[in-house]
Amino acid sequence: MASNSSSSGGGGSERRRIAQQRLRIIAGHLQKPVDVDSDIAAVECKAQEDQTSVASKRTVPRRRQEVMKWNGWGYSDSKFLFNKKGQAEFTGKRYRLSGMILPSLKDWFEGTFGANLQHKTPATPILNSSAVKPPTLNEAFMEDIKSSGVPFSHDAEDRVFRAHGHCLHEIFALRDGKVGRVPDTVVWPNCHNDVVKIVELACKHNVCLIPYGGGTSVSSALECPPEETRSIVSLDTSQMNRILWIDEKNLTAHVEAGIVGQDLERLLNESGYCTGHEPDSMEFSSLGGWVATRASGMKKNIYGNIEDLVVHVKMVTPRGVIEKSCQGPRMSTGPDIHHFIMGSEGTLGVVTEVTMKIRPIPEYQKYGSVVFPNFEQGVACLREVAKQRCAPASIRLMDNEQFQFGHALKPQVSSIFTSFLDGLKKFYITKFKGFDPHCLCVATLLFEGDREKVLQHEKQVYDIAAKFGGLAAGEDNGQRGYMLTFVIAYLRDLGMDYYVIGESFETSVPWDRVLDICRNVKERIIRECKEKGVQFPPLSTCRVTQTYDAGACVYFYFAFNYRGLSDPVHVYEQVEHAAREEILANGGSLSHHHGVGKLRKEWMRETISSVGMGMLKSVKEYVDPDNIFGNRNLL
């Protein structure tokens, strides 16, 4: 099959000639000079010579275990814990919250979940390699891989790292030292051409490929199908992490798809640009993963979702390379092939290179927050902001439970004056203005752009908020809300240390259903937990995270103390399943941006219709008739 690729044989030579010609034409406005032999020539694999210089800048090394947890979220040196004094703190030096004491978290944690710091459930500290089954190797494939020069590994740790994402059941099992089916081999292509070689060899030897980007999936997308009998190879794109060129006239950048979000933004910032795409997982999630799951970022109101940012995509499939012939901003050439690629979740091929829109780094950035008497008025305000099309870069509305949670994460203040001011604000809002502390909710705001326009924009949003009873609550609250974005995921590991399990999931919903879906799903979670024997009331909370003309994205968070349950993960999955049923019954989508994976694919036919499923299956059968990309997501 792969021999049909247009990059092989005589077709490859013609493709190179055309690509070189196009590069020469556009070379006049690329940021670095381009010639036939340069590092950014379209088909040359330039990975080897600059590997050392790039490695020093890379956030995540090839051996992820050097800096990352193997059975939890994020960096090994960063975690929440309760110290010997019973105070919560966040370790490490990587985040603004690092090294700080959180004086209110212990009381909130114990009061909310009925948890007891004396009752611990520590994680297995070190992976026992003997718990990992030896690899099932396709020897002929391995011989050809060795000849190709593509790096590979059969190491147990390397394989386990790429066998999971971050669903609760995946992490819970790893904390217990339990390892299921894992890839038999990990390969690290350095460029597009390496991927072409790997896919050709997988087709030749009938090997199953599972693409791996940042490993942040929360849809079971990375789990190896237990029924797969072929050798499974994890194709890790992390070494494909370079910006190949920046076009300053068209404001686009051509980037290898394995780059993670924080590295992409850092490298672009060095040249004075940004993408503005900031999903909560951007520290570790990859550009290719964003494309493959139709990702969304917190600042999409200005910069757009991934489908708005992508100009051009190159993907390697068992049938060959799929890409458009030019980098035009829009084409009327039948159904957009990008929409076969975006959201394909590793079932059709590997995204290798992406051209995306970029913007100059904004001149001015300002945080803000608004407190509302209740969630209903907060939602009404967000609806009006969306209707007037004046949403800031980000506007997120937390319900009261989330507000209490956020307050518990407030760091210890170093100044009596600051503490006095906080008390004064609380008095003003609750006593003078009459807001019920058990009903109020808070919206956090982020404005970006030209300073004068930002200040005008800010006034417009605060004027709208005032019409719905909103009071300005200061920049500090807004900034702290966004600061917590990248540390919040670490809290689940802390909960699991003390018999508390939890998860978040999301949906999109029309405006007229937002309040109903928030109320009904939260109530369903509480009811289901009680019926399933959960002894303590669960945390059931939500927030509106993104707004659109016709609706919004809603995130739900729930967690509970599982002491007394014989199979807590099964109970959790039953509750989450019921919550997803409730979302669909209330007019919500199957997913706004997390994707489907294997976790939610039972609802796909209901979601896109039988005809829609038939269309997707037809594409799969044509592009990948031997199911080389056999992760079994979506279908």
In single-letter form, the type of residue at position 379 comes to V
- Cβ pair 283, 335 in contact under 8 A: no
In single-letter form, the type of residue at position 525 comes to I
**In whole angstroms, what is the distance from residue 332 CA to residue 328 CA?**
11
* First-last CA distance in the chain: 22
Q: In which order are the strands placed within the sheet that holds 551-561?
A: 471-472, 364-372, 441-449, 394-398, 539-547, 551-561, 500-510
- Could you say which DSSP state residue 129 is in? G
Residues 278, 283, 284, 288: what is their CA dihedral angle, to the nearest 10 degrees? 30
Burial (CB count <10 Å: 0-12, 13-18, 19+), residue 468: buried
Q: Tell me whether residue 557 is one of the annotated catalytic residues.
A: no
What's the full length of the chain, in residues?
Answer: 635
**Cα dihedral across residues 231, 131, 559, 367: positive or negative:** negative
Between β-strands 471-472 and 441-449, what pairing exists: parallel, antiparallel or unpaired?
unpaired
Between β-strands 232-236 and 252-256, what pairing exists: parallel, antiparallel or unpaired?
unpaired
CA distances from 504 to 272, 488, 620 (A): 35, 11, 30
DSSP assignment of 140-169: HHHHHHHHHT--EE--HHHHHHTT--S-HH
Radius of gyration (Cα) for the chain, nearest Å? 25
Three-state DSSP string of 355-368: EEECEECCCEEEEE
- Cβ pair 110, 499 in contact under 8 A: no
Residue 508, token pair as written in the block: 């999109």
**In whole angstroms, what is the distance from residue 131 CA to residue 160 CA?**
10
**In whole angstroms, what is the distance from residue 623 CA to residue 635 CA?**
14
Residue 78, token pair as written in the block: 């960063």
- Cβ pair 540, 522 in contact under 8 A: yes
CA distances from 147 to 16, 96, 186, 338 (A): 23, 47, 16, 33
| Active-site residue, selected from the candidate residues 75, 498, 555, 562 | 555
**In whole angstroms, what is the distance from residue 318 CA to residue 313 CA?**
16
> CB under 8 Å to 530, separation ≥6 — which residues?
none
Q: Which residues are catalytic?
A: 555
